[in-house]
A and B are shown apart, each in its own frame.
Chain A
Amino acid sequence: MIVPTMAEMMAQGKQPEVLFWVGAAGSYDDRAKKISRAFVKILHAANVNFAVLGTEESSTGDAAKRAGNEFLFQMQAIMNIEVLNAYEVKKIVTCDPHSFNTLKNEYPELGGKYEVFHHTQFIQNLIAERRLKIDENTLQGKRVTFHDPCYLGRANEVYESPRDLIRRLGVNLTEMKRSKRTALCCGAGGAQMFKDAEAGDKEVNVLRTEDALETKPEIIATGCPYCNTMMTDGIKFKEKETEVKVKDIAELIAEANNL
């Protein structure tokens, strides 16, 4: 798989159309890496001239900020902004709503002003520009439910882009009782991903998986690597992994188009 870096691009005197911000999960987490690869396949299929930072990318600092470590967040932000600005990055796309939110909303004040897209928005644009078509036959008729990531949905009011793409797959999209602005968190946000939950009577991801299972889905579609992990764990907990798959929208599109 060809994934050019900004450094390579610069050495050739080229400027890519968009920077793909992979994020820590997309780089290191085995499950999320598949999402990164699926998205790259889509970018190639649509002939998008993109690049990644590769080893020059560092944590956006989202988890540190939400854990309360504003120092660490701003150090990360300022370092990342220096790198991004040095490469004169204008447009960024990411599969991680947490990176999306932080880059889009919290970096500008610190000197990092970019046009930032969630991958579902970016793919939507590719379709609008007729650079990409989604094959609606491969997954046709499958029952799919979509879990809204908090940092894409409520935090930035992006509810339609992922749904629009799912509908284009020709599948049967069913909504959970809690969806869009009333969606339930997967349990990973606010740095919860990295610690045990406080004492309670249930895990948040199990409750959310129950919401999803009520719709009797064949596929739970996600738009966030952390949601993906939490829902996958939930499905395992409910011992439903043979019947229900958890897939990122990028993976579904790559699958539908046989990429």
Chain B
Amino acid sequence: MQYLPNILFAIALIAGIGFFVINIRKLTRNIKLGKDINRTDNKSERWKNMIRIALGQSKMVRRPFSGFLHVIVYVGFIIINIEVLEIIVDGLLGTHRVFKGFLGDAFYGFLIGTFEILAALVFVAVILFWTRRNVANIKRFLSREMKGWPKNDGNFILYFEMVLMTLFLIMNAADPAFQQAGIGNPISKFIVPLFDGFSTETVHTIERTAWWIHILGILVFLNYLYYSKHLHILLAFPNTFFANLKPKGQFNNLASVTNEVKLMMDPDADPYATPAQGEEDVVPEKFGASEVTDLNWVQLLNAYTCTECGRCTSACPANLTGKKLSPRKIMMDTRDRLEEVGRNIDANGGAFKDDGKQLLNDYIKPEELWACTSCNACVEECPVNIDPLSIIIDMRRYLVMEESAAPQELNAMMTNIENNGAPWQYNQQDRLNWAKEK
């Protein structure tokens, strides 16, 4: 019976991590539904980006207030994992504060003391975050797309962190041996008086309860990630690594179009030629994107990485002037649809069964897509290098090249380019008239 806690702990740990792994495999399967794109060139620059932007939070701190609070929570999260490691070892081996022994009192005290201060700072930061989200009337938290789950999700994370930090401090405060040692208890020592008059057993029970809820809470939180915008704490790293390195103004040249155009402009090409052997049954590639599976895997990774912070939307000129476009919504819609496609595949034994829906129209409306000025403000703003613009352009390509569904004025503009070599209806022979005028 004396090993019961160890066994229970091991079961909880395996279940928690196992469930997480299952979801991560689902996540990678879904991301791989996207088209292939090579993002492994320039490895050194990619590593640098990842270290600077994801690890170093360089784009987060461009907005100093929320950036600073975020850094506190982030550092707290990273460092406190050392504490979590001790909890895991203790839990499995039935030891108590196992690191204290081999790290020595001084260093161990320094570590735990640091964690306590961070825990308190995180607690304060989280309250400020909560206030920003719920009281401060910040426009980007009140957008249309932030109703319901996205709003609740943001708050749940904050509550979770508050509870976990509190439990950590209570656990330390309710550990008389640790308190008597007087090492690393700069915050928890102020909680100790709350237990005055409690019996030794009660204090011990409080300590054990806090300890258990703390670690179980962490395991639950780990599994909450997959369902939440909080997934960014993991995906920010690959996302910044695989991000676009080319100039932001450089849009890709669709290779499928290049082949067609070259063929069209080749005077020797025979338009009535029968397809070469083996090519008869090849379904021609769709131009642009109307569904998540038409996007490439980096765009899908982007969608899972999005934290819904709305910095993109708050910088978007279309959104600032009251138009329907919100780059954040583009990313949220992409993720929602991808999740739906994933669930469809799971429910139908590994193959997607047509559900009569797609990303275009059912999630993202043409009105949103046509409001974009392609100014790259959203791309520039994203703290983790997400590229909503690439999705917008791919969907415009579908609207124009597959459906001929551009707004009327744009059709006129394109006809002019085709006929006159300019977006306006002027004669190409008049192109040099400006030089003769005064």
Contact = CB atoms under 8 A, between A and B. Distances in A.
Contact of A198 (B247, B324, B421, B428): B324
Interface string A148-174: 001100111100000000000000000
A204 B249 contact: no
Given A101-B250, A202-B322, A26 B434 contact: yes
A175 interface: no
Interface residues of A, number: 73
Contacts of B318: 198, 200, 204
Given A74-B261, A194-B409, A157 B247 contact: yes
A14 interface: no
A185 B377 contact: yes
A202 B328 CA distance: 21
A184 B320 contact: yes
A219 interface: no
Nearest to B395: A68
Nearest to A5: B432
A22 B163 CA distance: 63
A67 B409 contact: no
A181 B380 contact: yes
B315 A200 contact: no
B26 to A, nearest CB: 32
A211 B374 CA distance: 20
Given A1-B435, A66-B251, A66-B374, A203 B410 contact: no
A71 B261 CA distance: 7
A217 B392 CA distance: 35
Interface in A180-205: 181-182, 184-185, 187-204
B264 interface: yes
Contacts of B417: 59, 61, 63-64, 72, 76
Nearest to B366: A198
B182 to A, nearest CB: 50
Contact of B429 (A55, A66, A70): A55
A144 B372 CA distance: 29
Given A26-B434, A58-B428, A68-B288, A150 B373 contact: yes
Contacts of A157: 247
B23 interface: no
Given A27-B422, A65-B251, A70 B324 contact: no
B428 to A, nearest CB: 6
Nearest to B405: A68
B435 A194 contact: no
Given A184-B317, A189-B375, A195 B434 contact: no
A54 interface: yes
A68 B250 contact: no
A45 interface: no
Interface stretch (B105-113, B123-131, B396-404): B396-404
Interface centre among B246, B248, B325 (most CB of A within 10 A): B248
Nearest to A4: B435
B45 to A, nearest CB: 15
A213 interface: no
A66 to B, nearest CB: 5
Contacts of A127: none
A203 B317 CA distance: 9
Interface centre among A55, A61, A206, A207 (most CB of B within 10 A): A55
Interface stretch (B33-41, B49-57, B132-140, B252-260): B252-260
Interface stretch (A85-93, A102-110, A131-139, A244-252): A102-110
Contact of A106 (B251, B261, B397, B430): B251
Interface string A206-227: 1110000000000000000000
B181 interface: no
B401 A198 contact: no
Contacts of A229: none
Interface in B424-438: 424, 426, 428-437
A156 B261 contact: no
Interface string B373-389: 11111011100000000
Contact of B413 (A28, A150, A195): A195
A95 B424 CA distance: 18
9 contacts: A27-B432, A29-B424, A37-B435, A65-B251, A69-B400, A184-B320, A190-B373, A198-B323, A198-B367
Interface of A: 1, 3, 5, 22, 24, 26-29, 33, 36-37, 40, 52, 54-55, 57-59, 61, 63-72, 74-79, 101, 104-106, 109-110, 150-151, 154-157, 181-182, 184-185, 187-204, 206-208
Given A36-B434, A182-B377, 4 more contacts: A74-B257, A75-B418, A195-B370, A195-B407
Which 6 interchain pairs have the tightest Cβ spacing?
Answer: A155-B249, A68-B396, A190-B374, A58-B421, A201-B322, A200-B322
